């Protein structure tokens, strides 16, 4: 039996593209499993230039402390002064650590096997500092900011997480041979933090070599820590290696808030509304959220349902690479697997 | 006969070569097409061309020798002018390459370069950077094609990355704002973006490639990558025969490792180009087998191997000359010498496919000289 002491309220931002449909499936599964979570839905209209929607969303997340979100589109038709909403959310709430766990799944056919990489990406500064200006006509400068504080903070997070999860090695990814001061500072901070964790091996690798190694021998990596842009590249490469954007969940942690989403943050406009998006990533993200809320039993229940669907019953969502199932097929299978565990569930 | 008539008869001869080449093309697809170079098209079939050769450091000299041997066996009309590049300080303290090297390149326009070492804390910028600045090498071109016989988890890779090579994140401008806060400046200009976009579309058109994809992160870097993207879109208007796509960097990475066959020509700013070109090299087997070419202003082009100097195996006859050889083949195509390029490339690929004589990094036990000898033998057998 489950005991729950209280119901949690979580902010839900549907976003654009496949976000709304995936999140409605999450709600369906939560309802079915009697998860004690209420969602406060906040919409953000990406077509508007005004910040009001985002301000509301951020206030709601501050209030609830936790959010689950779809990706908000950045419309290129709006002027450059309108920044990426997703980025604004991350920086306003100081969600400094983006964490992604890439694991090979037995039921997913991929070129590489036995991948188990944790990627910790600095989430607030670096190339995503949103500081750009046109100094003279036709010449644009974009500033990449690296600070000692944020670099130490993310390195500390990476090593602490590595120790918690019993991981052996942390690799810092950088381009300090070219960006000597910026990435040099990042690397320096990682080295400093590493000295406080003698039980964990620390090494570093240049980002272009890293991508080359990832596509040939990804099994060599354990935990990786890096600044923002390289994090973007490496997390997408790793997600592709383990089977694609529909499979991997992502989490953004700050000191006070946490926001969960799919790891590769795709809007998926071309597949929206066609019942073919893979709900796995978003469902697993919701499980990460449940763990964060200390509702571990519910998290395990749903996670096992999803993984059983992936690895055993092999119901796979539509993918150009394998499977022709629909989103609903996958969700139905997940719920059946949950029911088969014999727990109390709502009517299907 | 007069010069004119012999040119004409050789032109018809060249047409036969083009037809023969198209037979080979059926086998090797787009990689066998050249990019146009007006001054070299017809003349180069029978006049000796001088190319500046920079052997480089470490294994550089031995792989350069290997390439020269193979070219000799193929009877390619190339004569080599060897030069060394080390950083020297000119008047006013500015670092530059030796004047005789510069003179040679300016005269010959074509260069082939082995790996150069970049000593740490030498006080001078890297040699590659100096060369880039000296000759305004604005485009780095890397064709990545799967090599039959050198197995990787990815087959059927056939794409080209074209990277803007002068600005972007590698502007080298960094400041310490206050203690603990560093700012690196990424520079994107209209002129450089337009130039690289034009080169990419020209390349696509001249090499019968079907699409050009601009890789960017304009959702985050709205102004800088936005400018790059705008220029690409503008140039695309003049090349309606080539399909133009734009894709976010992360989406490209995600799709590249799942299905690289969906990509054709990719054009992008400096940093993304650095990362993606190495990622693509990883797909086909690494830097030891990847060719690379740098296109500069004023018709200068330097082709190079992009692997390191491998000091641990230098002088031991263990090096693999494939990367430098394929770069030299790229150079031949750039000069319009397709027949020689095809011959040497087929010989090289067949040797690798055969698996009997392979260097250590390709999984064999043969020496560099043996591998070279085998390619030379195949080239000569093709006569």
Nearest CA-CA distance, residue A295 and chain B, Å: 32
Say how far residue B122 (Cα) sits from the centre of its chain.
27
Query: A1-11 burial string, b = 16+ CB within 10 Å, else e?
Result: eeeeeeebebb
pTM of the shown model = 0.89
Q: Which of B282, B287, B288, B308 to mutate to test the interface with A (most CBs of A within 10 A)?
A: B282
Which residues lie below 8 Å from residue A237, measured CB to CB, with a gap of 6+? A211, A214, A215, B253, B254, B256, B257, B279
pLDDT average, residue stretch B359-382:
94
pLDDT in tens, A35-84: 999 999 999 999 888 889 999 999 999 999 999 999 999 988 888 888 89
Q: Which residue of A has its CA nearest to B226?
A: A80
Question: Does position B30 have pLDDT exceeding 70, yes or no?
Answer: no
* Helical axes A19-32 vs A327-339, angle rounded to 10°: 20
Q: What DSSP string describes A56-122?
A: HHHHHHHHHSEEEEPPPP--TTS-TTS--HHHHHHHHTT--EEEEEEE--TTS--SS---EEEEEEE
Q: How many CB atoms lie within 10 A of CB B124?
A: 15
Read off the pLDDT band of A93 (50, 70, 90): very high
Cross-chain Cβ contact A236/B250 below 8 Å: yes
On average, the pLDDT of chain A sits at 92
Would you state the pLDDT for residue A178?
87
- ipTM value for the complex: 0.91
Residue A124 has which token pair? 């607030």
Contact A238, A173 (CB under 8 A): no
Q: Which of A84, A147, A245 is the closest to B219 by Cβ?
A: A84
Q: Which residue of B has its CA nearest to A127?
A: B221
Cross-chain Cβ contact A132/B256 below 8 Å: no
Nearest CA-CA distance, residue A144 and chain B, Å: 5
Cross-chain Cβ contact B219/A130 below 8 Å: no
Residue A292 has which token pair? 């964060």
Please, which residues bridge with residue A256 across strands? none
Q: Is A218 in the B-facing interface, judged by CB distances under 8 Å?
A: no
Percentage of chain A exceeding pLDDT 70: 93
Residue B90 has which token pair? 């000119």
Would you state the pLDDT for residue B46?
62
Cross-chain Cβ contact B223/A133 below 8 Å: yes
Q: Which of B221, B233, B247 to mutate to test the interface with A (most CBs of A within 10 A)?
A: B221
Nearest CA-CA distance, residue A175 and chain B, Å: 10
Q: A–B: how many Cβ contacts below 8 A?
A: 171
Residue A60 has which token pair? 């709601």
Task: Name the pairing type of β-strands A258-262 and A66-69.
Answer: parallel
pLDDT in tens, B147-187: 988 999 999 999 999 999 999 888 888 999 999 999 999 99
What is the C-alpha to C-alpha distance for residues A237 and B163, in angstroms, rounded to an integer? 19
Would you state the pLDDT for residue A311?
85
Contact A196, A159 (CB under 8 A): yes
Would you state the pLDDT for residue A107?
87
Q: Which of A132, A179, A211 is the closest to B221 by Cβ?
A: A132
Residues of B in contact with A221 (CB under 8 A): none
Q: Which residue of A has its CA nearest to B190?
A: A138
Say how far residue B279 (Cα) sits from the centre of its chain.
15
Nearest CA-CA distance, residue A142 and chain B, Å: 5
pLDDT higher at B333 or A194: A194
Helix (H, G, I), strand (E, B) or coil at B61: helix
Read off the pLDDT band of B15 (50, 70, 90): low
Read off the pLDDT band of B12 (50, 70, 90): very low
pLDDT average, residue stretch B190-203:
96
Residue A131 has which token pair? 């500081």
Helix (H, G, I), strand (E, B) or coil at B199: helix
What is the C-alpha to C-alpha distance for residues B16 and A139, in angstroms, rounded to an integer? 48
Please, which residues bridge with residue B288 across strands? none
Q: Is A181 in the B-facing interface, judged by CB distances under 8 Å?
A: yes
Cross-chain Cβ contact A143/B183 below 8 Å: yes
Question: Does position B289 have pLDDT exceeding 60, yes or no?
Answer: yes
Let me know the angle formed at the C-alpha of A11 by A95 and A156, rounded to the nearest 5 degrees: 20
- Cα Rg of chain A, angstroms: 20
Q: How many CB atoms lie within 10 A of CB B250?
A: 26
Cross-chain Cβ contact A181/B174 below 8 Å: yes
Nearest CA-CA distance, residue A45 and chain B, Å: 16
Would you state the pLDDT for residue A35?
96
Nearest Cα neighbor of B134 from B173, B168, B170, B165 is: B165
Helix (H, G, I), strand (E, B) or coil at A170: strand
pLDDT average, residue stretch A328-340:
93
Cross-chain Cβ contact A140/B274 below 8 Å: no
Question: Does position A336 have pLDDT exceeding 90, yes or no?
Answer: yes
Q: Which of A142, A173, A176 to mutate to test the interface with B (most CBs of B within 10 A)?
A: A142
Would you state the pLDDT for residue B40?
47
What is the C-alpha to C-alpha distance for residues B301 and B49, in angstroms, rounded to an integer? 14
Would you state the pLDDT for residue B121?
61
Residues of A in contact with B217 (CB under 8 A): 127, 229, 232
Residue A305: C-alpha distances to residues A285, A298, B151 (Å): 14, 11, 38
DSSP A133: E
Let me know the angle formed at the C-alpha of B344 by B33 and B111, rounded to the nearest 5 degrees: 75
Q: Is A104 in the B-facing interface, judged by CB distances under 8 Å?
A: no
Would you state the pLDDT for residue A141?
94
Cross-chain Cβ contact A185/B188 below 8 Å: no
Q: Which of B152, B249, B274 is the closest to A232 by Cβ?
A: B249
Q: Which residue of A has its CA nearest to B175?
A: A181
DSSP B145: E
Which residues lie below 8 Å from residue A186, measured CB to CB, with a gap of 6+? A122, A146, A151, A172, A174, A176, A227
Burial, B119: exposed, middle or buried (Cβ in 10 Å; 0-12, 13-18, 19+)? Answer: exposed
Would you state the pLDDT for residue B375?
96
Would you state the pLDDT for residue A26?
97
Contact B15, B43 (CB under 8 A): no
pLDDT in tens, B51-85: 999 999 999 999 999 999 999 999 999 999 999 98
* Helical axes B338-354 vs B322-334, angle rounded to 10°: 160
Question: Does position A344 have pLDDT exceeding 60, yes or no?
Answer: yes
Residue A241: C-alpha distances to residues A104, A235, A236, B215 (Å): 8, 10, 9, 20
Q: Which of A74, A133, A148 is the closest to B219 by Cβ?
A: A74
Residue B89 has which token pair? 């300080």
Q: What DSSP string describes A313-328?
A: S---B--SSS--B-HH
Residues of B in contact with A138 (CB under 8 A): 189-191, 227
DSSP A5: S
Q: Is A304 in the B-facing interface, judged by CB distances under 8 Å?
A: no
Q: Which residue has the tokens 């030299």?
A: B328
First to last CA, chain A: 20
Q: Is A211 in the B-facing interface, judged by CB distances under 8 Å?
A: yes
Residues of A in contact with B152 (CB under 8 A): 216
Residue B55 has which token pair? 């052997």
Q: Which of B182, B227, B278 is the closest to A181 by Cβ?
A: B182
Number of H helices, E strands in chain B: 11, 14
DSSP A165: T
pLDDT in tens, A279-324: 999 999 999 999 999 999 999 999 999 999 988 766 665 555 556 6
Cross-chain Cβ contact A143/B227 below 8 Å: no
Question: Does position B128 have pLDDT exceeding 90, yes or no?
Answer: no
Task: Name the pairing type of β-strands B181-189 and A139-147.
Answer: antiparallel
pLDDT higher at B36 or B269: B269
Query: B85-109 burial string, b = 16+ CB within 10 Å, else e?
Result: bebeeeeeeebbbeeebbebbeebb
Nearest CA-CA distance, residue B383 and chain A, Å: 38
Nearest CA-CA distance, residue B70 and chain A, Å: 29
Q: Which of A139, A186, A248, A278 to mutate to test the interface with B (most CBs of B within 10 A)?
A: A139
pLDDT in tens, B203-241: 999 888 999 999 999 999 999 999 999 999 999 999 999
Residue A143: C-alpha distances to residues A30, A134, A189, A206 (Å): 43, 12, 20, 21
Q: Which residue of B has its CA nearest to A86?
A: B220
């Amino acid at each position: 039996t489950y005991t729950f002491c209280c119901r949690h309220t979580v902010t839900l931002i549907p976003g654009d593209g496949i976000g709304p449909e995936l999140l409605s499936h999450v709600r369906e599964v939560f309802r079915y499993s009697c998860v004690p979570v209420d969602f406060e839905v906040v919409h953000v209209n990406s077509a508007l230039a005004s910040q009001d929607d985002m301000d509301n969303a951020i206030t709601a997340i501050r209030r609830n402390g936790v959010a689950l979100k779809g990706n908000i589109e950045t419309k290129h038709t709006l002027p450059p002064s309108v920044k990426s909403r997703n980025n604004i959310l991350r920086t306003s709430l100081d969600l400094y650590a983006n964490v992604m766990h890439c694991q090979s799944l037995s039921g997913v056919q991929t070129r590489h096997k036995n991948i188990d990489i944790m990627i910790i990406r600095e989430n607030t500064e670096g190339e995503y500092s949103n500081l750009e200006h046109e100094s003279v006509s036709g010449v644009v400068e974009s500033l990449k900011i690296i600070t000692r504080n944020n670099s130490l903070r993310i390195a500390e997070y990476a090593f602490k997480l590595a120790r918690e999860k019993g991981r052996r090695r942390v690799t810092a990814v950088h381009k300090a041979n070219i960006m000597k001061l910026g990435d040099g500072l990042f690397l320096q901070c990682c080295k400093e933090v590493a000295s406080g964790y003698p039980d964990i091996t620390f090494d570093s690798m240049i980002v272009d070599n890293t991508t080359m190694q990832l596509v040939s021998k990804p099994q060599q990596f354990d935990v990786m820590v890096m600044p923002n842009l390289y994090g973007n590249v490496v997390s997408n490469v790793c997600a592709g290696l383990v089977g694609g954007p529909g499979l991997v969940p992502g989490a953004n942690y700050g000191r006070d808030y946490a926001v969960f989403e799919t790891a590769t943050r795709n809007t998926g406009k071309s597949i929206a509304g066609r019942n073919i998006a893979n709900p796995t990533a978003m469902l697993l993200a919701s499980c990460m959220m449940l763990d964060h809320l200390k509702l571990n039993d519910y998290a395990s229940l749903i996670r096992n349902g999803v993984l059983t669907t992936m690895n055993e019953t092999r119901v796979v969502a539509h993918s150009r690479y394998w499977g022709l199932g629909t989103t609903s097929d996958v969700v139905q299978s997940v719920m059946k697997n949950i029911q088969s565990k014999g727990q109390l569930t709502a009517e299907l | 006969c007069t010069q004119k008539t012999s040119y004409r008869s050789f032109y018809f001869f060249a047409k036969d070569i083009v037809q023969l080449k198209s037979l080979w093309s059926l086998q090797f697809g787009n990689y066998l097409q050249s990019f146009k170079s007006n001054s070299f098209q017809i003349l180069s079939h029978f006049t000796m061309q001088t190319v500046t050769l920079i052997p480089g450091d470490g294994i550089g000299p031995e792989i350069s020798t290997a390439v020269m041997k193979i070219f000799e066996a193929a009877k390619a009309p190339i004569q080599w002018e060897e030069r060394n590049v080390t950083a020297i300080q000119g008047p006013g303290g500015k670092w530059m390459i030796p004047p005789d090297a510069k003179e040679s390149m300016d005269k010959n326009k074509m260069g082939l370069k082995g790996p150069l070492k970049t000593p740490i804390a030498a006080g001078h910028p890297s040699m590659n950077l100096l060369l880039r600045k000296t000759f305004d090498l604005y485009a780095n071109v890397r064709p990545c094609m799967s090599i039959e016989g050198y197995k990787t988890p990815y087959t059927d890779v056939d794409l080209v990355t074209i990277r803007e090579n002068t600005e972007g994140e590698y502007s080298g401008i960094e400041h310490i704002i206050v203690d603990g806060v560093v700012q690196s400046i990424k520079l994107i200009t209209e002129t450089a973006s337009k130039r690289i976009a034009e080169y990419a579309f020209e390349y696509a058109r001249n090499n019968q490639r079907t699409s050009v994809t601009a890789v960017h992160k304009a959702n985050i870097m709205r102004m800088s990558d936005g400018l790059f993207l705008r220029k690409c879109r503008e140039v695309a208007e003049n090349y309606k025969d080539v399909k133009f796509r734009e894709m976010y960097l992360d989406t490209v990475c995600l799709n590249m490792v799942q299905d690289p066959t969906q990509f054709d020509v990719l054009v992008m700013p400096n940093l993304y180009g650095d990362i993606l070109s190495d990622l693509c090299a990883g797909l086909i087997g690494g830097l030891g087998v990847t060719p690379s070419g740098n296109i500069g202003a004023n018709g200068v082009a330097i082709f190079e191997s992009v692997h390191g100097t491998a000091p641990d195996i230098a002088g031991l006859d263990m090096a693999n000359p494939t990367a430098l050889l394929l770069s030299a083949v790229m150079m031949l195509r750039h000069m319009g010498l397709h027949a020689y390029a095809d011959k040497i490339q087929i010989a090289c690929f067949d040797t690798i496919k055969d698996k009997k004589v392979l260097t250590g990094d390709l999984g064999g036990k043969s020496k560099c000289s043996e591998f070279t000898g085998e390619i030379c033998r195949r080239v000569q057998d093709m006569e």
